[in-house]
Structure 1
Amino acid sequence: MELHDIRQAISDTDQQLLGLLAKRRGLALAVAEAKLSQNKPIRDTKREQELLLSLIEKGKLQGLDAQYVTRIFHVIIEDSVLQQQAKVQGQLNGDNSQAVRVAFLGGQGSYSYWATQKYFTRRAEQIIELGCDSFNEIVNAVETGHADYALLPIENTSSGSINEVYDILQHTRLSIVGELTHPIEHCLLGLPGTDLSKIRQVCSHPQVIAQCSQFLLGLTNVKIDYCDSSSAAFAKVKELQDPTIIAIGGEEGGKLYGLEVLTRQLANQKDNVSRFIVVARKAVNVAKAIPAKTTFIMYTGQQPGALVEALLVLKQHGISMSKLESRPIPGNPWEEMFYVDVAANLSDYAMTRALEELNNITKFVKVLGCYPSDDITPTQPQS
């Protein structure tokens, strides 16, 4: 076969693969309907393990190695689970809107922009994007009705918790209705032909700068310019047309502004992942078939053992805690509010009883939201 004919055959095969993937996704959604009617959990890890093991064995017969098959079907299974969860949640909460207005940090190309696309493409046919310059502006857009949802970054594996967002949650009337994790790969981006040895200014959001601090320490005579978002940094480099000024952000975002990658993998940690939360004016109910998280804040007071006593309540009711974060209480020097994430549905009896007991032994408890867990642990086939 000629090269042209081979490439055409590859294109035809890719087209067939797309059709099969679309068919599989449709069948996965049909499975969600059946599970919902039978009150079964969305995820069946035993079946997933059996399926993956079978696919690995069949793949070997066709010359495909186990790692290749596993990697591909991890993505497919994760997509199926998240699609099914979104469908079940939409039906339970009567969320049938064709278009959603979402407020997020920055403009097109920012990390929050890509996370918004990732989360809401499963839930609406059209996303009306409302890029904002600050976290307060994002939250205000939803509180005033200008947006249906807000997407906020809350923690990162390199730079830790985003304290400003935690402090906003303490005072807002909004509820957390969803979450997602999104891998972040920081790149150095500049105008085409930029010479790295001649850069004099690096632009990006403060969180991005913090996540790349070790790389930046190795640069000399370089000014750090803090921007409202990574997309704002891209726009600045494009506007100034100065080859000595560069930005840090995502490769795909930089391309939207005509920038090219100079260096990749700048984050302090190799596996750099950000967790985002989705907030709305109205709380949601989480289907029993879906793993849920509940986030609440509490003020225990400063008496000895107060925090330990509160955490023992969770242990006694068999509730697993995944996050504990402390933040200062404005106007109360040296006193702190605790933010807690637990793996539990707010409607569970154990969670209801735990909150009742916490209300009795603490000075203040406020539930910030109960929402579907987005932690999809990859299926591992039994050896």
Structure 2
Amino acid sequence: MRIGYQGVPGAYSEMALQKYFSEIASNQIEAIEYDKFSTLIQAVANKALDYAVVPIENSTTGLISRTMDLFRYQPITAVGELLQPVQHVLWGIKGSQVEQLKVVYSHPEALAQSQNFFEQHPFISSQAFEDTAKAAQWVAQQNDPTIAALASQRAGELYDLIPLKEAIQTEQTNTTRFFIIRHQEFANQDGNRLIAYFETRHQPGALLKILQTFDLFNCNLEGLNARPIPGQPFSYGFFIEVNIEHAKASLSLLKEVLNQAAEYVQLIGRFD
């Protein structure tokens, strides 16, 4: 089974992969690293991967739009989710101390989730890096006591760094939500959680008609996010998440009504 994730060993995505597929023997899994989310998503769309693990939302910073936007117009479906606690550790080389640091490297999301630390240490600047684990790997290679990385416990241990400060994220219950995705041809689309993307017609009340449709079908709205439509300045599509456990009609009928009310509708995921 080929399962892809963005980053290198020690990344939170790799940790989520290991946790979600923990009941499958390790010798049956080939975990494949990708540098970019775009190539990871495309590999699923091209059937080069059986699954991929992708972060889509954080409890501190909200929707991770750079990944969710890639789901649009692709033949992929989320078939499951995992909530991964995110505890950022400040890692440095042996002999390093917080007081001598000048720069901390990490992924922009991790840096944003740790703003209180930087406010309390104004002499330390933050520098965006493509991945938390890669930042730890790079700091280990530089052998510079004035730099450090924000990364997971596993990443720091993998790259032989020392913890300078633990759990420095602003929100101590910081959690990232991951989707488990696969090609829609192989997806078993069952469950009471439904995630969809739709684009409304450019007319008064268009969005209201969509929301009223879910209300009429007795679906519980759990999330709604607006995103710019590519190539259409100041036009927006919407990611919506609903619970359909008590829906008054079948999903096929709901989709039929939505297709009549919206310009474009795409099922992003369905699972329990």
Provide TM-score, normalisation by structure 2. 0.92
Query: Counterpart in 1 of 2:52?
Result: 150
Query: Counterpart in 2 of 1:70?
Result: none
Question: Are positions 1:275 and 2:173 aligned together?
Answer: no
1:283-311 deviation line (CA, Å, top 9, x unaligned): 42255xxx432211111134232212211
Q: Which runs of 5+ in 1 are unaligned?
A: 1-99, 374-383
Question: Are positions 1:306 and 2:206 aligned together?
Answer: yes
Which one of 1, 17, 21 corresponds to residue 116 of structure 1? 17
Question: Are positions 1:355 and 2:255 aligned together?
Answer: yes
Measured on the aligned residues, the alpha-carbon RMSD in Å equals 1.9
Query: Counterpart in 2 of 1:247?
Result: 149
Deviation at 1:244, TM superposition (A): 0.9
Higher fraction of helix: 1
3-state SS of paired residue (1:332): coil
Letter of the 2:49 partner, please give it: A
1:119-173 deviation line (CA, Å, top 9, x unaligned): 1122455321111111112112223343211111000011111111121011322
Whole-angstrom CA distance in 2 between matches of 1:142 and 1:366: 17
Whole-angstrom CA distance in 2 between matches of 1:302 and 1:217: 44
Alignment map for 1:213-362 (pairs within 5 Å): 213-281=115-183, 282-286=185-189, 291-344=191-244, 349-362=249-262
Question: Are positions 1:365 and 2:265 aligned together?
Answer: yes
Whole-angstrom CA distance in 1 between matches of 2:24 and 2:212: 38
Query: CA 1:279–1:124 in structure 2 vs 1: closer, same or farther (change >3 Å)?
Result: farther
| Contact 1:201–1:225, Cα closer than 8 Å, also in 2 | yes
Greater relative contact order structure (CA < 8 Å, 6+ sep): 2
Query: CA 1:122–1:368 in structure 2 vs 1: closer, same or farther (change >3 Å)?
Result: same
Whole-angstrom CA distance in 1 between matches of 2:47 and 2:270: 21
Alignment map for 1:49-128 (pairs within 5 Å): 100-123=1-24, 125=26, 126-128=28-30
Query: Counterpart in 1 of 2:72?
Result: 170
Whole-angstrom CA distance in 1 between matches of 2:25 and 2:221: 31
Query: CA 1:303–1:214 in structure 2 vs 1: closer, same or farther (change >3 Å)?
Result: farther
Query: Counterpart in 2 of 1:132?
Result: 34
| Contact 2:217–2:249, Cα closer than 8 Å, also in 1 | no
Whole-angstrom CA distance in 1 between matches of 2:98 and 2:123: 13
Which of the pair has more CA radius of gyration? 1
Provide TM-score, normalisation by structure 1. 0.66
Whole-angstrom CA distance in 2 between matches of 1:177 and 1:193: 45
Deviation at 1:176, TM superposition (A): 1.5
| Contact 1:175–1:279, Cα closer than 8 Å, also in 2 | yes
Letter of the 1:162 partner, please give it: I
Runs of 4+ in 1 over 4 A off after TM superposition: none
3-state SS of paired residue (1:359): helix
Whole-angstrom CA distance in 2 between matches of 1:116 and 1:230: 16
Query: CA 1:171–1:213 in structure 2 vs 1: closer, same or farther (change >3 Å)?
Result: farther
1:231-277 deviation line (CA, Å, top 9, x unaligned): 10111111001111100011222111111211122222121010001
Identity between Structure 1 and Structure 2 (%) = 30
Q: Which runs of 5+ in 2 are unaligned?
A: none
Letter of the 1:101 partner, please give it: R
Letter of the 2:230 partner, please give it: P
Deviation at 1:104, TM superposition (A): 0.6
